[in-house]
Chain A
């Protein structure tokens, strides 16, 4: 029994090791400017069911170098989803956004929304989850100590209680941002945005590849999108790639 566990664990080790070498192999191909080869190597890692912020970031760089702006933007966004603090990714994303056709001026967010967003982006969702759980367990431990020993702390549980509640909110927000279908990148070189989810409805405006849109609703294969400048309309799902 012990032996089989040992074998299993070494197998798992080998497998992850293999993926790590694939990653370094991709990096060397990137360094040698074989960007399309690097893309296929990185993609093979993803198809194995693995991901990381660095992986998406590197893929974004590859697409940037091959001037596939839409893919580059999509991968940088993806990288930022996994780690909102990836400064390199946000910098490169900014550069990639300069290359695309649509320049959309975004309406500045309200200050508290911005603060909240910054707060949520401080850590990854997992970290927030861990913190929230840790907090609530601390509350439990303190309460038990109060109950069964002479160790008395009156305000500590209250403090941790509040903290846990706040952390719960942040965690929820962070989780929702990562897991709900809220954003997409336009992949077709030119898309006409319709006023309704039908082919012959009025054409409102057109979008080009690389533009980030927010998803509001979906009817069949039509999705309702809104831009950061406030415009909205319907496009076909096949014209964009959802960030999820």
Chain B
């Protein structure tokens, strides 16, 4: 017996430490449309709670975790407890048996699973059904679409409106509409309830969501429903007389409901064949341009504002290609848009360009062109903004004025090859140069001729006395060389030195020419050598006379020495030349 109790005790201790995930539902079986609360409870702290698969049951809310802790101190023994509960609010749309898969949770690294749970849902009585229907009549969402048949690029406004007659405690959008093929922009809505009476029944009406949708592709595009989770406060009729409950407002119970709107299909058709510069602007759009100043000084700023207004996909319009003058410095535009402010009628997009003209002159900013498709007239239209004439005066700032006189580099935007030549001079191939052989012939022929001439001169030149011109030249050269110092003396009017020099030159010339020793120099030797060289007697006499004259002039005072010097120099020159010629 003792043994058994011991074993039991062991079991017990194991029981205490094993955690289980308990599952329970507040009602089983439940009725269609009823709210069911399912709870998963564990008596310790856990992590990573994994929701079960509810297999067709609608989850209104959950998992909503709640933790309880208690600490007890009894007879000196302390004990602490904590438990966590995950609750789900469910709703069944159809009757049947729902198998709920186990939920999982991790405790101290171990994964604990709950038991699978089977929930039976049965059809409710007529009364319950009527209750449900009454609820759907008193709480619903309508979808309003401005147009059902549109073209690509056209815009529609979708408005989701909540109609309610029940006491709504809280609402939250649980699922947003999926918008495949649309570009959406939400508009601001006021969530305040307004009272509206439909068929004599008063409703509280609020706009939940308002979007502008721009169709991006053609075809049948569906706007998926929006889902709204509502917490409805229902008066509890059972405990109507509980004063405490009444006092604390606890006489109510909260019912979770999910309502959804209907799916709406919009037919989008393609644009008719668009022109080349069409960028996708669709709608009734106008374009306007403004300039804040038409007369301005160079280097001051101008604001150029391009405003696009109207209905349509204005927010998708890219900055237009405006041909600003080359001399303007253009900054990237400041873009601002107000989409659908003031309803469907008006969207405004502005491009503000900051321009700085750098040089004085008269300039024109041409108008900007925007091609749009007008869905009303079903035609493409070209909208043009006005052009602006600007008068730019010289800059007032001196520094700037100076810089503006700097030359501008001519910019070529696109590079293309130069045009072909229209005229040419065709030559046979390879004949654009003189052939190598011909060239060498023509080049080296004159050189060869010159060399031949030189050889001829050196061989023939010595014996040939007939070439007087050549000889004269040589003789002249010799005379000049001899009388160089004498010439210098004339320039200095040095009388004595001059005659001495002449005499010296003549004697020197004679000595060199006939290879006479300087000791043997006398007038007799002159006669001897001259006659032996068959030189004319006249020349010999002239030579001696000149020597005498020089001697005489050196030692006698004379009146006009300057003229005498010139004549004597001339005489000396002719004598040397004569001797030279006579010798050859």
The residues of A with any CB-CB pair to B shorter than 8 Å are: 16, 19-20, 23-24, 27, 30, 45-46, 49-55, 57-58, 61, 64-65, 82, 88, 91-92, 95-96, 124-126, 129-130, 132-133, 136-137, 139-140, 143-144, 147, 150, 164, 168, 171, 175, 178-179
Contact = CB atoms under 8 A, between A and B. Distances in A.
Interface in B507-565: none
A144 B450 CA distance: 8
B443 A136 contact: yes
B417 A92 contact: yes
B426 A126 contact: no
A130 B432 CA distance: 12
A30 B426 contact: no
B127 interface: no
A175 B420 contact: no
A96 B457 CA distance: 62
Best-buried of B420, B425, B453, B457 by chain A (most CB within 10 Å)? B420
Contacts of A124: 432-433
Given A61-B420, A171-B439, A51 B450 contact: no
Contacts of A96: 417
Contact of A58 (B420, B425, B457): B420
B421 interface: yes
Contact of A150 (B418, B453, B469): B469
A57 B420 contact: yes
Interface in B396-449: 415-429, 432-434, 436, 439, 442-443, 446-447, 449
Contacts of A61: 417-420
A126 B434 contact: yes
B432 A24 contact: no
Contacts of A88: 418, 421
Contact of B424 (A54, A129, A139, A171): A54
Contacts of B450: 139-140, 143
Given A61-B420, A95-B415, 14 more contacts: A16-B426, A27-B420, A30-B420, A54-B421, A58-B420, A64-B417, A88-B418, A125-B432, A133-B443, A136-B442, A136-B446, A139-B450, A140-B450, A175-B436
Nearest to A22: B426
B426 A20 contact: yes
Contacts of A27: 420, 422
Interface in B374-415: 415
Contacts of B421: 54, 57-58, 88
A3 to B, nearest CB: 26
Contacts of A164: 443
Contacts of B423: 54
In the A-B complex, the 10 residue pairs with the closest CB atoms: A140-B446, A54-B421, A54-B424, A50-B426, A58-B420, A92-B417, A88-B418, A125-B433, A52-B424, A133-B442
B422 A24 contact: yes
Contact of A55 (B417, B418, B426, B443): B426
Contacts of B417: 61, 64-65, 91-92, 95-96
8 contacts: A16-B426, A52-B424, A54-B420, A54-B425, A125-B433, A130-B434, A133-B439, A175-B433
A46 B430 CA distance: 12
B183 to A, nearest CB: 40
Contacts of A95: 415-417
Given A129-B439, A133-B442, A143-B453, A23 B433 contact: no
Interface in B273-303: none
Contacts of B420: 27, 30, 54, 57-58, 61
Contacts of A51: 426-429, 432
Given A61-B420, A143-B453, A178 B433 contact: yes
A157 to B, nearest CB: 9
Contacts of B442: 133, 136
A75 to B, nearest CB: 11
Contacts of A125: 432-433
A51 B421 CA distance: 14
Nearest to A147: B453
Best-buried of A24, A54, A144 by chain B (most CB within 10 Å)? A54
A23 B426 contact: yes
A136 B447 contact: yes
A124 B453 CA distance: 34
B425 A52 contact: yes
B432 A50 contact: no
Contact of B449 (A50, A52, A65, A140): A140
Nearest to B418: A88
B443 A147 contact: no
Contacts of B416: 95
B429 to A, nearest CB: 5
Contacts of A92: 417-418
Best-buried of B426, B429, B442, B449 by chain A (most CB within 10 Å)? B426
Contacts of A132: 439, 443
Given A129-B433, A175-B436, A50 B428 contact: yes
Given A139-B450, A143-B453, A50 B434 contact: no
Contacts of A50: 426-429
B434 A129 contact: yes
A136 B446 CA distance: 7
A140 B424 CA distance: 36
A137 B366 CA distance: 68
Contact of A126 (B422, B433, B446): B433
B457 A147 contact: yes
Nearest to A98: B415
A162 B425 CA distance: 33
A54 B509 CA distance: 72
Contacts of B418: 61, 88, 91-92
A45 B453 CA distance: 49
A218 to B, nearest CB: 21
B423 to A, nearest CB: 7
B451 to A, nearest CB: 10
Nearest to B426: A50
B472 to A, nearest CB: 10
B443 A52 contact: no
A241 to B, nearest CB: 16
A233 to B, nearest CB: 31
A90 to B, nearest CB: 10
A67 to B, nearest CB: 12
A126 B421 CA distance: 21
Contacts of B446: 136-137, 139-140
Contacts of B415: 95
Nearest to A31: B420
A27 B422 CA distance: 7
